[in-house]
Copies of this chain bind each other. A is one copy, B any other.
């Protein structure tokens, strides 16, 4: 129960079932992907596969879907047009272990089922997230929430030493309070957000993709992105057609606002840097203007 890898025994327990399987999901069952220093994600159970989405969609559209010849075409059509209900028919259950500050961001996704390890019932473990040196960054200057440039290596070492020392002290205090027989639900309150927790987390494919879209984003905090990437890896194998469509139409898609479309429609592209600067000046808001320039760069519309 303390989150170690599932025993080998479980792999012998192959069962015969009439349920549809996903061979891509099967290969990830009970195989933890290590995340950060003490964390992991592994697939505990799943329901459905790409076919389940087709099956549900064809029930809705009945004869009407004959036109879309292939299953792949249908799945891609559904995602392109944000017809998301069929992808709610696929479900995944993960066992995850993560620092509490990651868990706090994660739990904001409400459309999921959760059973978390409880510090009221059970002793918290002596496991605290200590970032790797590369993950330590300065506060971003242009962005109020993100990370910016590297720190000096010497400073990095000081920070890591300070954190390590603090974690030791915290856990020592915790054990000492338990030694006084203080109720566990109180003894834990001095433990930090870096302490690890774990949970079972069950979510449908539609909501998981929404989670991934937000948490794979470069603006997501690095420590939760690691978990997002682990789950993305599993999902990519479990529902390959859906995942490909997700990448094509959502993750790597780009949206242009009404005003941006208006500017696009009135000009020739690509455009010189100077002319672009002038052209986008109709966007009054500085931040919005910069975001538009960023998009123009991505499609090579600035030369």
Contacts and interface: CB of A to CB of B under 8 A. Distances in A.
Contact of A256 (B144, B200, B254): B254
A64 B144 CA distance: 6
Contacts of A144: 61, 64-65, 67, 121
B19 A62 contact: no
A147 B185 CA distance: 8
Nearest to A213: B82
Contacts of A184: 139, 145
A166 B173 contact: yes
Chain A interface residue number, banded? 35 or more
B256 A261 contact: no
A297 to B, nearest CB: 10
Nearest to A31: B18
A131 to B, nearest CB: 7
Contacts of A138: 181-183
Nearest to A263: B299
Please classify the interface of chain A as helix (H, G, I), strand (E, B), loop, or mixed, using the class held by over half of its residues: mixed
A102 to B, nearest CB: 9
A249 B261 CA distance: 11
Contacts of A55: 44, 200
Nearest to A56: B115
For A26, A57, A64, A77, the residue with the greatest tally of chain B CB atoms inside 10 Å of its CB is A64
A73 B139 contact: no
Contacts of A65: 121, 144
A16 B18 contact: no
Contacts of A61: 118, 121-122, 144-145
Nearest to A110: B110
28 contacts: A14-B16, A15-B20, A16-B21, A45-B47, A47-B93, A48-B93, A55-B200, A59-B198, A61-B118, A61-B121, A62-B118, A62-B121, A63-B121, A68-B287, A77-B288, A89-B115, A99-B189, A135-B186, A137-B186, A146-B183, A148-B183, A159-B180, A163-B190, A189-B192, A248-B259, A252-B261, A255-B255, A264-B301
